[in-house]
Chains A and B, each alone.
Chain A
């Protein structure tokens, strides 16, 4: 099947790149746009390493065709830090609280946590665990990930201007 130019907005920037209808969003992001932050983990919709924000909702980009996201707004882990390189509160908190070991799940984990905190700015520990239940981590036992998200939520709530 022939390729077709597919356009969308990624990390606030309008983009257009050719893709076949069967091209998955994760491949479009990684191979056409060189956004290799979202990872391919299980490739079966279980692990959440490929999580991105699609029109204000967390989705697994290995389970969406790029053409289905035509015209959509997509945010990846690359879109969370400030343009001047200052890290997002979640990124800072994951570093501070050692919310990672090998780092493979981290982009998906943080991108999911970013949306979770938009939906629920002051989540309980249980709500965090439930909210990230679509993201698997095989190193940390989740303890420090949950701590990092709690710390980021606290930080964002005490400094409202840093919320985005």
Chain B
């Protein structure tokens, strides 16, 4: 499979990339790791006339941690996310999520920014971004702005990213040091998108859950922040009734399509199963 012809550009600064995307207009596409876009180009479902490769822009790379404030450059690869002990120290859910994305070769090129900006409901990082209440920093012709992860996703492949804008960084405050976390993903095989997946972060104080945050992957046309399910846990001891209530609330907002991964009602039930496992795992890990 050979993509349609295009012109290739590899700017070395963010300013140059923004300028290029602005001047080339809507026939240009930015490419990060390329592992979503290049397959689409090979299928000719994407036929950009210009490809603006972000790989040489040093300012889009790197993980910066100051106290509990975390900033990750959008071009940081999944392999770099996994390799960062400093990141795993303050926010281990990102390593756990990245390890369940695709396979080693793909994680070497696939980027955090690409995974969150792509808007494919099958991408794994967006659910973890929901639970972290992350902010996405973008740069465009009008300058820089931040968009909350919880406001970013509009529909499958439709996001708040505007014309000519590039995702530049992901910012969030790491949860308190005692937090428990889990990303539980059911997939048919290595490399597959989730049949259902759940991200959970929770904090326990004196046997009671004082904070909970739940996100769901590939169970709707956008990643889901399960607010009612999260609230069902807060204040409880994570007793069976509270967990049942959270699972019911999560299943209520899950609206998965019937596809090769299974019928809709199966995938909705599986969302509940993943959520139960994720809550149990997060509870075990909470200090």
Contact = CB atoms under 8 A, between A and B. Distances in A.
Interface of A: 1, 20-22, 24, 27, 43-46, 48, 51, 57-60, 63-65, 67-68, 112, 116, 130-131, 133-134
Contact of B35 (A1, A43, A45, A65): A45
Given A1-B7, A63-B34, A43 B109 contact: no
A133 B109 contact: no
A41 to B, nearest CB: 13
A112 B103 CA distance: 12
B42 A43 contact: yes
Contacts of B25: none
Interface of B: 1-8, 10, 34-35, 38-39, 41-42, 51, 53, 55, 79, 102-106, 108-109, 190-191
Contacts of A112: 104-105
Given A21-B8, A22-B3, A134-B191, A68 B105 contact: no
Contacts of B104: 58, 112, 116, 130-131, 133-134
Contacts of B34: 63-65, 68
B106 A65 contact: no
B8 A57 contact: no
Nearest to A63: B38
Contacts of A63: 34-35, 38-39, 106, 109
B5 A20 contact: yes
B42 A1 contact: no
Most buried by A among B10, B42, B55: B42
A60 B191 CA distance: 13
B105 A21 contact: no
Contacts of A60: 105-106
Contacts of A27: 2
A7 to B, nearest CB: 14
A31 to B, nearest CB: 12
B105 A48 contact: yes
The 4 closest A-B pairs by CB, nearest first: A134-B103, A21-B8, A1-B5, A133-B190
Nearest to B192: A46
Contacts of B6: 1, 21-22
Contact of A134 (B10, B51, B190): B190
B8 A134 contact: no
14 contacts: A21-B6, A21-B51, A22-B41, A27-B2, A44-B39, A57-B79, A59-B108, A63-B34, A63-B39, A133-B190, A134-B104, A134-B106, A134-B190, A134-B191
A134 B102 CA distance: 8
A59 B8 contact: no
A46 B191 contact: yes
Nearest to B108: A57
